[in-house]
Amino acid sequence: MSVTAMPSYLNIPATPAPQAPITTFADDDNDGIANEQDDCPSTPAFTEVDDRGCTKYRSNTSNVEIGIPFLADSSVVRPEYMQEIARLAEFLKEHPTKQVEIQGHASLEGPTLYNRKLSEKRAFSVAELLIQQYGIAPNRVTSLGYGTDQPRINEISVRANAANRRIEAVITDSSNRSATAQNGWS
């Protein structure tokens, strides 16, 4: 039997092929926009967003959750969430016949009456910003606190409490409100 020499290319140590750098896609609010490009860092899940991660309003928008997570026992809108209020104000300015009811909600933890008052304060703080900072006419903005009456998640947990401390904006057309009032409906 004869032995042949091993081809020289088999003696070259194997080097791994260069790989592309591993990049991670961080999207804390799950809106499809990376954190680095997200101007509205707390847009609620399933909310249609623009390329900056902020709520996308359309002329037929009627109800939208505004991404303003409140800290426990607080009605203060933190600066990083002002962009959401600015977007709502921009929409209202573009649609002068639209009115908005700002609805505040609270977590299930704590006394019911206290949570109702807290949710009213949260709704009022957002309504006040729309009026005072963004110049929306007061007759176009109302606020209402629901307290614990309409929880997003019906439990007491860190996740549920955070989801339930929220603001919703119900948008109506003032011409519809006028017709409703004339017909005696409320």
3-state secondary structure of 55: strand
Q: Domain 39-182 carries which CATH code?
A: 3.30.1330.60
Contacts (Cβ under 8 Å, ≥6 apart) of 77: 68, 70, 85, 125, 126, 129
Q: What was the pLDDT predicted at 23?
A: 62
Q: What was the pLDDT predicted at 16?
A: 63
Domain parsing of the chain, residue ranges: 39-182
Q: What was the pLDDT predicted at 5?
A: 59
Q: What was the pLDDT predicted at 133?
A: 97
Q: What pTM was estimated for this model as a whole?
A: 0.69
Cα R_g (the chain), whole angstroms? 26
What are the tens digits of pLDDT across the range 99-150? 999 999 999 999 999 999 999 999 999 999 999 999 999 999 999 999 999 9
CB 125 within 8 A of CB 75: yes
Q: What was the pLDDT predicted at 142?
A: 96
pLDDT under 50 in the chain at which residues? 177-186
